[in-house]
A and B are shown apart, each in its own frame.
Chain A
Amino acid sequence: MTSIYQINSATRIRFARRFLISLSRMRRASTLGPPSDEEIRTRTRRIRIVSYSSMAFAVGSSRAWSRALVLKIRNRARFRGILRNKCLASKKKRVIKRHKVSREMSKTDMLRRLVPGGAGMGICGLLEETAHYMTCLATQVKVMQSIADHYSK
């Protein structure tokens, strides 16, 4: 098993490839002429989801967090249409509640919320998954930054 704290370049390249392919697919599908604000917002949301799913697939099923993330994205896509109106209505209520809870929550619980799949783990597993997840996130950010820099030349 490779060291859990070093992301090898193979994972990074796999992520970059998947992400770039999804980006070019999105570009080809977009309408001609300048996109509307609504289109940009939808695309931002899609790019965000694609970046997380690309990393989760690049990591594969060897990590609990990547498995949990893949499931979450698949389920969300399945129910998006049905739950959409409900979510929009109750969003305000939910946000206020979250601020209240975070002050009382323990730091471990906060970490469980931030790391995909963290809810069902023991403390040792959670800390290991956190280390790997953090390293992958940092790689994801670096790759996205260099792609954005490339496109803005």
Chain B
Amino acid sequence: MSSRRSRSRQSSGVSRISDDQIIDLVSKLQQLIPELRNRGSDKVSASKVLQETCNYIRNLHREVDDLSDRLSQLLASTDSDSAQAAIIRSLLMD
């Protein structure tokens, strides 16, 4: 195992992917998904992480669709652009 790691480090010019790299990236993905963030890193399989990643991205796409619809309805009712500065200010606060 250690020899494989040192081999991948030596050949960093060539794109040789080690299992450790993939495990590392998958665990980083796991940290970003709200569903899986609280579980221990050794309890969730890579397959589950990939599945939840796809579900999460699809949910986010759906939220963008819903919000676009909502904004489209709201755009008709707002009058001025004065809200813009207030919005940016509140976003800076976060």
Count, A-B residue pairs, CB within 8 A = 131
A-contacting residues, B66-93, CB 8 Å: 67-78, 81, 83-84, 86-88, 90-92
Q: With the chains together, A24 CA to B26 CA distance in Å?
A: 40
- Is there an interface contact between A114 and B58, defined as CB atoms closer than 8 Å? yes
Contact bitstring B11-46, A, C-beta under 8 A = 1, else 0: 000010100011001101101110000000000000
- Is there an interface contact between A107 and B51, defined as CB atoms closer than 8 Å? yes
- Is there an interface contact between A134 and B84, defined as CB atoms closer than 8 Å? no
- Is there an interface contact between A143 and B68, defined as CB atoms closer than 8 Å? no
Given contacts A110-B54, A151-B78, contact A52 B64 (CB under 8 A): yes
| Interface SS of B by simple majority | helix
Report chain B residues within 8 Å CB of A137: 57, 60-61, 64
Contact bitstring B46-57, A, C-beta under 8 A = 1, else 0: 010011011011
Contact bitstring A118-153, B, C-beta under 8 A = 1, else 0: 000011100110110111011011011111101110
CB distance from B31 to the nearest CB of A (A): 8
CB distance from B9 to the nearest CB of A (A): 15
B-contacting residues, A17-56, CB 8 Å: 17, 20, 23-24, 26-27, 30, 34-35, 40, 43-45, 47-48, 51-52
- Is there an interface contact between B54 and A141, defined as CB atoms closer than 8 Å? no
Q: With the chains together, A130 CA to B17 CA distance in Å?
A: 17
* Cβ-closest 9 pairs across A and B: A127-B25, A107-B50, A48-B68, A44-B72, A47-B68, A144-B67, A151-B74, A137-B60, A43-B72
